[in-house]
Structure 1
Amino acid sequence: MTGPLGWLLDAQLHVGGSPVLLREIVGNVFGLLSALLGLRRVVWAWPVGMIGNALLLTVFLGGVFATPQAHDLYGQAGRQVFFFAVSAYGWWRWQRNRRGGVDGEPAVAVAPRWATGRERIGVLLVAVLGTAAAYPVLAALGSWGPLPDAWILTGSLLATYGMARGWVEFWLLWIAVDAVGVPLLLRGGFYPSAAMYLFYGAFCVWGFVSWWRTSRTTRPARVAGRPSYSEVVA
């Protein structure tokens, strides 16, 4: 393939004597930018993240796209597809919230809140059942490290959904994903992604504290005839 797209697919850098795909670096930069925008509760967090998902999909499907790594991480690749779908939902939800301001109050994309007890039980059940269901599928596909890959897939989807819903706990889910993802990616030779996960783990601590503080300055409101939240303090 020629042109800018071909250059992006083929370009490599050498870090410590090992080849690293430029698109893996660029995809993770988009992921980080999406996280920063998400911390600020900016709607553009979703489409920016979707661009990163598309790039990283090509990185983790080494059997389809040429990569210097010898391992296929189908869970990592699959989650990019699911991310895209869940991000479309998050984009729609935050956009809808932005149009829902009433009584002269500025509409916000999302107002952080703690998940209810019922929602937390649902997250726990999905985490266990999702990981258990994904493991044999990924193992059969030949994914490298299928069990941690299964948790990374399931936990990432839960975290993304939690962000769309405005749950403060979604940051904790990301930390749990990063704790498993860093050693797996290091062993697989995906060094930019491993570095991103390590940095992102520290970033998630900051995000958790920020959303926790913001959740203490919000109050419930009725927006367009449905339950929602509006900010008291920006």
Structure 2
Amino acid sequence: MSLLQNLFDAELHIGGATILWREIIGNAFGIASAIGGMKRVVWAWPVGIIGNALLFTVFMGALFHTPQNLDLYGQAGRQLLFITVSVYGWMRWLQSRHDSGKAVLPHWASTRARIGMIATMAIGTVAFAKVFEMLGSWGPWPDAWIFTGSILATYGMARGWTEFWLIWIGVDAVGVPLLFSGGYYPSALLYLVYAGFVLWGFAVWLRIQRQSAQQSTAVAAE
């Protein structure tokens, strides 16, 4: 128990900043999950879940006595929802791999699904901002935007919608300045690194999608 507690409380000091190792490790799992998602491998989901669990303890700063001592309820809450949606995505990709041999086949969302995503993003941001504001969250509006967008992106990944990469771009654009200003430097740097993976992943999924469409057209022509 003492060893686990020491690992849980381990800190890294850079300049005047104090950083928890579990924030670094949790974000490392997040990057690994992003790479796995880009490669469309099932292990991306359980790896992401481990990172989510670690980061939950980081963003509930006052509860777990982090150096920042800030509660970002949106950041913390989305880790719990990530776990829930990730279990769904994990099961969906496993079933797809069992049925077709492929974990997921990238494709565009339908017009109806796109309208639903836009509406969910707008309504969710407003609603959660009010909730986080009442809870006393630090930065409730950007927190709500990140929270809502993250859940949509994770759900889109589970469904195989290529658009989910673009949603992450919008999340990163707000998340980086929020986390830097709150002193969550490893997470802010992850968002910057992750933005590169997002652009790369979008290009990879788009190429796979086009190749699949070309193969389908060729088969139909035969």
What is the CA deviation profile of residues 12-54 of structure 1, one whole-angstrom value per residue up to 9, with x for unaligned ones? 0012221100000000000000000000000000000000000
Residue 21 of structure 1 is matched in structure 2 by 20
Residue 70 of structure 2 is matched in structure 1 by 71
CA distance in 1, matches of 2:201, 2:213: 20
Helix, strand or coil: the match of 1:99?
helix
CA distance in 2, matches of 1:23, 1:13: 10
Residue 199 of structure 1 is matched in structure 2 by 193
Structure 2 counterparts to residues 117-196 of structure 1, below 5 A: 117-196=111-190
CA distance in 2, matches of 1:134, 1:8: 33
**Counterpart of 1:209 in structure 2: which amino acid?**
A
**Counterpart of 1:178 in structure 2: which amino acid?**
D
Residue 203 of structure 2 is matched in structure 1 by 209
CA distance in 2, matches of 1:146, 1:62: 15
CA distance in 2, matches of 1:17, 1:178: 25
Runs of 4 or more off by more than 2 Å in structure 1? none
Question: TM-score when scaled to structure 2?
Answer: 0.94
CA distance in 2, matches of 1:216, 1:128: 30
Question: TM-score when scaled to structure 1?
Answer: 0.90
Q: Which has the higher helix share?
A: 2
Unaligned runs of 5+ in 2: none
**Counterpart of 1:165 in structure 2: which amino acid?**
R
**Counterpart of 2:157 in structure 1: which amino acid?**
M
Structure 1 position 219, deviation (Å): 4.6
CA distance in 1, matches of 2:63, 2:70: 12
Helix, strand or coil: the match of 2:18?
strand
CA distance in 2, matches of 1:179, 1:172: 11
Structure 1 position 143, deviation (Å): 0.6
Unaligned runs of 5+ in 1: 102-106, 221-228
**Is 63-72 or 204-213 further displaced after alignment?**
63-72
Helix, strand or coil: the match of 1:114?
coil
**Counterpart of 1:19 in structure 2: which amino acid?**
T
CA distance in 2, matches of 1:27, 1:81: 14
